[in-house]
Structure 1
Amino acid sequence: MSSSCRTLTRAERESRRVLGEQAAASGLGLRELTAAHLAAARRAWPQLPGVVGARDAAELRQVGSAVLGALESGIAALAEGHDRAQRHAVHRAEAERRAFVDDLLYGRSDPGRIAEQAERYGLRLADRHLVAVSTAPEGEAYDTRHPLLRRVERELAGRFGDHDALITPKDGRLVCITPTSQRAVLDAFVKLTSRPETPELPAPSSGSAPVSAQRVAVSRPHSGAPGVVRSYEEALSALDLAARLGLTAPVLNAADLVVFPVLLRDRAAMADLIRSVLGPLERARGGAEPLLETIRAYAAVGYVNAEAARHLDLSVRALSYRLERITALTGFDPDDALQRYTLETAALGARLLDWPARPL
């Protein structure tokens, strides 16, 4: 090449790319690879035929220019092959991680195999674990390139060092799996992703579209690989309930919402309760919605008239009239301790089943 002053052929450049891939596979970094290539060129320079046979300085400069051009092309091909191998390795690792996360969260594989794989990601599934699931702001979805994921990973690593939490995007949300012994890591994840500085939105009126807000749901602790699946489902269920009930709290604990799955377990019984207790409200002027919202607001403020009136933007007198209408139509008095519980439970069920917007 030094004698012919030609450039590298396509086959020669491809051979350099293959060498770059092989170097990456063997763990050799690009800097070391480039340095070794340049050192070999420097050692070979004095013995190159074109250099030895050069008749004058002009011919030597021509040879040098050709050799440097070939060297530049060869190093570029080496770097391209090295980068190609690195990208393939990253994509392969990401695919393996996604497959593991799917198997872990959905229980699709043998628990023993899952436990063995989990150790590669710092999880010991014999422990009890908590799962937190964070929703993204409206119009966004979390993925591996989202800046919040990088910020969370960076801050948790800075605060806790080598921790055992697994943080991963899943279906547009962020998921954090931690052993109960490292609850502080999960609490930090919740704080970083819930954005408590965002002001809470007012609860929607009955029948309106649920509030779409960024929030985090935290499961109860469970053991083993099946426990992670259960915890994940609990967190997702808490997010679903929050949307259906119009809850605005940025952090939801599954333990605080455990009563709602119980209420929905017998849907037929709940529907019967709603029909028998709240059905008569549909005969009211303006329909059931205003009186149903009155029951919810009255319960939400601890059955304090002035607070409920303020919440509903009514006068205390107007609120009292509504309460009288509720009692007259349903036969249940919101000021009676036992009867108010029946009304409140039926009102919660109505929100869960989207009654009266959806017939029972």
Structure 2
Amino acid sequence: MAQLKQSSGGPQNGKLTISPAKAETIKKLRANVGQLSTTTMRELERALPWYGRLRADERSALGLVAQNGIAAFVTWYERPTLPSWILSDVFGNAPTELTRSISLQKALALIRIVVETVEDQVPHLAPEEDQPALREAVLRYSREVAFAAADVYARAAETRGSWDTRLEALIVDAILRGENTDALRSRIAALGWKAQERFTVMAGSSPLEPSPTYVGELRRMAGRFAQDALVGIQGDRLILILGGLDDPANAMARLAELFAPGPVVFGPEAATLPEASTSAQAAFAGLSAARAWPNAPRPVAADDLLPERVVAGDDAARRALVHKIYRPLVAASNGLVETLSAYFELGHSLEATARELFVHANTVRYRLRRVCDVTGWDPLLPREAFVLQTALVVGRLATPPSQASERTSNRQA
């Protein structure tokens, strides 16, 4: 600065001398630090309505930042240094409190008030010949503080982003493992999860080398269809946990486009987020068995892959076929199981089935429609007939031999 110059006798061990005008300014600045701080605090309350609505501890933290800024300015004006000191001298331990209490926009408004307060006091703090230099110093100082504030918020955002990513990974892992604890609920709440119902898990392949923006893009796309979304990448697998889906069919189709090539499977809807582990397990089982159905749609429901999952050894799929298809058919009676069995054994022929059972073909049609009403699967469609036939097989294997023999005797009688 203009007032920092070498002594008339030249350099003396590299030391610099200060002009009398600047020395007087520094003296007044030091004497008025308290008054400047008090004036600044009053101006903050007057000019920033949101400042008065903060809690006492938040106002204290921000007030300390303002006071530190004024005190640090005096030191900096006496001997300007590199701007790195601002982070420690001005903000101190306040960054966490600062970023939690107010936004960056509000922080910059606070800095502007502090700068304006000091600038308004320039005529009272410096001799006339030193006032231009002091105003220039205030402007330079305010620039460095603003950059330092932006750096504080950027670092805080990166920290929160890293923490949120780790927390999200922990939640996804806990859900996949079926964990249902207070810790899981606490983590979900900490992540800001809002959805309370309609939870679905999608699983597929992740890109070999996802771009840095891939997860963010996937999360934004999921946010268009779901209230909340969790994203997990485990090795070569990509997992999406969606909450509050409004249009599941459309959502699944659009989101499947962001998965890497290969099958994409979604599990059945779960009532609560901790129960989504069942949906996840079904999705993973379906993903492992999907290659047995090369022409499967993309995405495909895990329940549409029940036969392949049974062949692959998935016990949950076997139980689902027994409880959701075989037992309801047996309970419905009216010869549904017998008619369905004959229909499959006779090559899906209505006439042959009618002759085998000594009934009219329309009776066979009626019974097959009843099968569809009871189970939700249509035996007249080849793929769904395959599901029903698999259900008959696993249902008979799950039935004790005595009951199976009794049922056969009744049919023959």
Distance 1:259 1:215, change over 3 A: closer
Return the structure number with greater relative CO, CA threshold 8 A, min gap 6. 1
CA distance in 2 between partners of 1:20 and 1:150 (Å) = 31
AA aligned opposite 2:132: R
Pairing partner for 1:102 from 144, 165, 173: 173
1:141 positional shift: 4.4
SS of 2:92's equivalent in the other structure is: helix
CA distance in 1 between partners of 2:198 and 2:220 (Å) = 26
Distance 1:221 1:148, change over 3 A: same
CA distance in 1 between partners of 2:220 and 2:173 (Å) = 23
Partner of 1:257: 305
Pairing partner for 1:166 from 229, 239, 251: 229
Partner of 2:164: 93
Contact 2:169 2:232 in 1 (8 A): no
Distance 1:265 1:28, change over 3 A: closer
Structure 1 portions without partners, runs of 5+: 157-162, 197-211, 267-301, 304-340, 346-360
AA aligned opposite 2:101: G
AA aligned opposite 2:297: A
Distance 1:260 1:116, change over 3 A: same
TM-score normalised over the length of structure 1: 0.55
Partner of 2:104: 30
The C-alpha deviation readout for 1:97-150, integer Å capped at 9, x for no partner, is 22112111222x4445434544541344xx67432224346x454887446414
CA distance in 2 between partners of 1:234 and 1:150 (Å) = 22
1:155 positional shift: 2.5
What are the residue-to-residue correspondences of 1:180-191 with 2, within 5 Å?
Answer: 182=245, 184-191=246-253
Equivalenced residue count is 242
CA distance in 1 between partners of 2:151 and 2:139 (Å) = 18
What are the residue-to-residue correspondences of 1:85-164 with 2, within 5 Å?
Answer: 85-107=156-178, 109-115=179-185, 117-118=187-188, 120-124=192-196, 129-136=199-206, 139-141=208-210, 145-146=214-215, 148-156=217-225, 164=227
1:75 positional shift: 2.1
CA distance in 1 between partners of 2:122 and 2:94 (Å) = 24
1:195 positional shift: 3.8
The C-alpha deviation readout for 1:256-298, integer Å capped at 9, x for no partner, is 21122322439xxxxxxxxxxxxxxxxxxxxxxxxxxxxxxxx
Distance 1:263 1:117, change over 3 A: same
1:48 positional shift: 4.0
Partner of 2:241: 176
RMSD: 3.9
Partner of 1:209: none
Distance 1:111 1:82, change over 3 A: closer
Partner of 1:349: none
Structure 2 portions without partners, runs of 5+: 1-21, 27-76, 315-346, 349-385, 391-413
Contact 1:5 1:67 in 2 (8 A): no
Partner of 1:6: 79
1:236 positional shift: 1.6
TM-score normalised over the length of structure 2: 0.48
SS of 1:265's equivalent in the other structure is: coil
SS of 1:26's equivalent in the other structure is: helix
AA aligned opposite 2:201: V
CA distance in 2 between partners of 1:13 and 1:128 (Å) = 46
Contact 2:202 2:264 in 1 (8 A): yes
SS of 1:121's equivalent in the other structure is: coil
AA aligned opposite 1:27: S
1:164 positional shift: 4.3
Distance 1:143 1:168, change over 3 A: farther
Partner of 1:239: 287
Partner of 1:82: 153
CA distance in 2 between partners of 1:173 and 1:142 (Å) = 14
AA aligned opposite 2:184: I
CA distance in 2 between partners of 1:215 and 1:261 (Å) = 14
Distance 1:13 1:247, change over 3 A: same
Rg: which structure is higher?
A: 2
